[in-house]
Amino acid sequence: MLWNPTDQILRNTNFFEDYYDLVLGGQHWVYVTYTEYDGCEAMRRRLTPEFFSLTAAQPYIAKVPRMKDIAWAGMLQLAPNFQMKSLREGLIPNDVTIKLRVDNPYQTWSNNADGNKKTGHPKYRFSTRGQQPVALDVVQVENALDSIKAVPNPYYGFSQYETSQFSNTIKITNLPGKCTVTIYSLDGKFIRKYERDEVYQPYQQITPDLEWDLKNSKGIPVASGVYLFNIQAPGLGTRTVKWFGIARQFDPSGL
């Protein structure tokens, strides 16, 4: 448990696959507290299990009131090619000063019900005045359908939208509230049609996407390949999106 941060960012410097590949200097956490410096003795006694004799859950419960004493937390990482001294020499080669600056210091502005006692929560004021929807101009109408996408694209057997091994789901995103989405195979065969008629209402966001379960109009799963999504939106125009997907191998056991 020697405090010896490094300049290494990734476990494998050639690529990044998962969060476990992040070394971040050795993941040496540093906590800055509001309390007087005592070598962390007070916090250690508060959070160490041997100082409790009630239940096993007590140390975890005790962490909650200590969190308010922490002003900043982060991990340290050395600059490239920076060398630390040996343990005998004290590790740190020189004095270091860390300065943390913010444009607007944290303040406890919010009061409780009686209007006197500070609650510790910041209070911010914002306005949505002038942010109501307005009609699109000519240029915006011409480009209104450009953001429509099919995701994921390409589809390799699964997506993050699926909830189990029995579901297949992709999404057609950024659709207008009223439009017709027709799916064709690459050779022009009809696959499926969706009629959208989402009604805009005050204080209510319409669903901006459409889910496709990779089945045709008869409920039969489609084959792997390229498909075309044709979107026709009244008053906005027409857009065609190309999508490629590879279906999962069928598992009759469901395991």
Question: pLDDT, tens digit, for every residue of 132-141?
Answer: 767 766 666 6
* pLDDT bucket at 254, cuts 50 / 70 / 90: low
Question: Please, which residues have CB within 8 angstroms of residue 162's CB and are 6 or more apart in sequence?
Answer: 168, 169
One of 2.60.40.4070, 2.170.190.11, 3.40.50.300, 3.30.750.24 is the CATH number of 138-246, namely 2.60.40.4070
Determine the average pLDDT of the residues in 26-43: 80
Residue 144 exposed, middle or buried by CB count within 10 Å (0-12, 13-18, 19+): middle
182 Cβ contact partners less than 8 Å away, ≥ 6 residues apart? 190, 192, 193, 194, 229, 230, 232
- Is the distance from CB of 131 to CB of 137 less than 8 angstroms? no
- Are the CB atoms for 48 and 58 separated by under 8 Å? no
Give pLDDT, residue 54. 47
Check pLDDT > 50 for residue 80: yes
Residue 8: pLDDT over 90: no
Residue 17: pLDDT band with limits 50, 70, 90: low
Domain ranges of the chain: 1-106, 138-246
Could you list the beta-strand ranges (E) of 77-199.
149-151, 155-156, 170-173, 178-185, 190-197
